[in-house]
Structure 1
Amino acid sequence: MSRDGQSQAPRGGQLTSAPGGAVVVGSFALRTGEWFGRHAHGAHQLAWAPHGVLAVRATGRTWVLPSTLALWIPAGVRHATGATSPALLRSLYFWPERCPLTWREPQVVPVSGLLRELIGHLAQDQDTLGADARHRAESVVLDLLHPVSVATVRAPLPADPRARRVAEALRANPADDRTLAQWGAVVGASARTLARAFVSGTGMTYGQWRTQLRLQAAMPLLAAGSTVSSVAHRVGYGSPSAFVAAFRRGVGVPPGSYFAPPG
């Protein structure tokens, strides 16, 4: 986002701003699986979807965001944004010199009912919403932004081509429970070789990496409204309780809390 209104945002969107305002609001429709490549803005961005589920990749991490969560992306941080289901991307862009927030890393922000309404309020054109009313709403929006402590889920692909084949097969079917020895017979490597390749290529053991992958696969399903029981089965857990325990360890909160509207 630049001062002249140009940005590397999705085509066909709308931008709403006012002279002297601190916030520009962008609204863009996204299709399932539609991604916008890595880019950066000169303004801070709050990426949020009132409808659908967003995913944002930045700083080596991936965030899956239901309508109850948004992601603060500091100015200059390169990122890619996409949708795991049809979504309306509603982004707020904050001019750094007028913004009191100084977060240097992306931060997950809960979207309360009041914040949701204020974002919609600011999305009105400047003829509908006067300058004074817009400035007041901008101030309240900033007051409502506070980070929540949730871990991101990351499952990078290893560089070793044999381990990468295993990782890609598991991405296609996270419930596949073959051991490294069994995978080794498929890709032509010993279990020990594959184990080393996962550690050196991802920073995680094979078991840790597979857990992260399963959680990553589960998040869009949960966000779309699938039950914990059905998601647990689809991503390879023998029981809902085992899945909930893994989700809590990996993300920091149980799935019911992550996807529930904030109080």
Structure 2
Amino acid sequence: MIVARDFQLTAGTRFPVHRHATHQLTWAAKGVVSVTAPGGVWVLPATRALWIPAGTPHALEGGPAVARAVYVDRAPRGFHTPTVVVVTPLLRELAAHLATFPPLPAAASASALDAAFAGPVRSSAAARRRAEAVLLDLLQPAGVATIDVPMPADPRALLVAEAVAARPSDGRDLDGWARHAGASARTLARLFTDGTGMSFGRWRTNVRLRAALSLLATGTPVAVVARRVGYRSPSAFIAAFRQAFGVSPGAYFSL
């Protein structure tokens, strides 16, 4: 059985790490949401969804947006890890149709969502079963990269990480951030490598690209996005984006 639900998210809404007993397909029917799960952070507009296997710990944030969650009791072959799929118009309409079935209470928890499979759900017709089968057939991996932005545990590095995440356009170099943290540049560099598994420069690039994805998903022009996330020119931003994702910013959400 497949149960679809829509959730209205106000600005800054965050569902902390949780897991479901059933598989989940989620995306933003309106606006943009991001999901953090093992393997990275995925920014999801209306054209991209993330398949989250049952039992996978994940967190969701976004808003203002409408998050669409489709809970599935069986997985297509090969969908063993979080996987991005393209939301085609047909997939979107099928999920919208399934979402018209009786909703859960507004304050439903993750366990309550899972319980929908054991509770009364309007199900009579073979038409519903056909719709569910077609929806599963439409799940095709999009084959896109993701962004990983782990946070360091050391208080000095964490202070810098939180400041960079809050303002990706801040152009201070490692020396400048080291002064901000009360550490030497060498120490700060080591703390980032030890705490995140990547250099400070690589980590900051990932922060900027993650922020860029959210802006691009809302239709913000590339030149504006480049400036807002700290690149001096659109060409430099496009080069970094292409290196990370294999496509240009303009092509990313049209795949």
Tell me the TM-score normalised to structure 1 length.
0.84
- Cα distance in 2 between the residues matched to 1:250 and 1:92: 29
**Is 1:93 aligned to residue 71 of structure 2?**
yes
- Cα distance in 2 between the residues matched to 1:182 and 1:54: 32
Segment drifting more, 69-78 vs 160-169: 160-169
User: 1:150 touches 1:253 (CA, 8 Å); kept in 2?
Assistant: no
* Aligned mate of 1:52, from 31, 37, 50: 31
- Cα distance in 1 between the residues matched to 2:101 and 2:167: 46
**Is 1:201 aligned to residue 211 of structure 2?**
no
Q: Shift of the alpha carbon at 1:79?
A: 1.0
- Cα distance in 2 between the residues matched to 1:122 and 1:152: 29
User: 2:37 touches 2:56 (CA, 8 Å); kept in 1?
Assistant: yes
Instruction: Give the equivalent residue in structure 2 for 1:64.
Output: 43
Q: Shift of the alpha carbon at 1:102?
A: 4.4
- Cα distance in 1 between the residues matched to 2:39 and 2:90: 31
Q: Shift of the alpha carbon at 1:89?
A: 1.5
Instruction: Give the equivalent residue in structure 1 for 2:85.
Output: 109
Q: Shift of the alpha carbon at 1:65?
A: 0.3
Instruction: Give the equivalent residue in structure 2 for 1:122.
Output: 98
Gaps of 5+ in 1: 1-21
- Cα distance in 1 between the residues matched to 2:172 and 2:67: 38
Identity of aligned residues (%): 54
- Residue 101 to residue 94, structure 1, CA distance change in 2 (3 Å): farther
Give the 5 Å matches for 1:1-150: 22-59=1-38, 61-83=40-62, 85-96=63-74, 99-125=75-101, 131-150=125-144
- Residue 29 to residue 195, structure 1, CA distance change in 2 (3 Å): same
Gaps of 5+ in 2: 103-120
| Matching residue's letter, 1:73 | I
* Aligned mate of 2:245, from 229, 246, 251: 251
Instruction: Give the equivalent residue in structure 2 for 1:225.
Output: 219
Q: Shift of the alpha carbon at 1:160?
A: 2.0
Q: Shift of the alpha carbon at 1:181?
A: 1.6
| Matching residue's letter, 2:20 | H
For these two proteins, the number of residue pairs brought into alignment is: 237
Q: Shift of the alpha carbon at 1:59?
A: 1.2
- Cα distance in 2 between the residues matched to 1:243 and 1:129: 49
- Cα distance in 1 between the residues matched to 2:174 and 2:6: 45
- Residue 102 to residue 131, structure 1, CA distance change in 2 (3 Å): farther
Q: Shift of the alpha carbon at 1:122?
A: 2.1
- Cα distance in 2 between the residues matched to 1:159 and 1:128: 48
- Cα distance in 2 between the residues matched to 1:117 and 1:129: 18
* Aligned mate of 1:158, from 152, 160, 169: 152
- 1:145 is paired with a residue of what secondary structure? coil
Q: Spell out structure 1 runs of 4+ moving beyond 4 A.
A: 126-130
Q: Shift of the alpha carbon at 1:152?
A: 1.4
- Cα distance in 2 between the residues matched to 1:31 and 1:138: 30
- 1:155 is paired with a residue of what secondary structure? coil
Q: Shift of the alpha carbon at 1:259?
A: 2.0
| Matching residue's letter, 2:161 | A
- 1:232 is paired with a residue of what secondary structure? helix
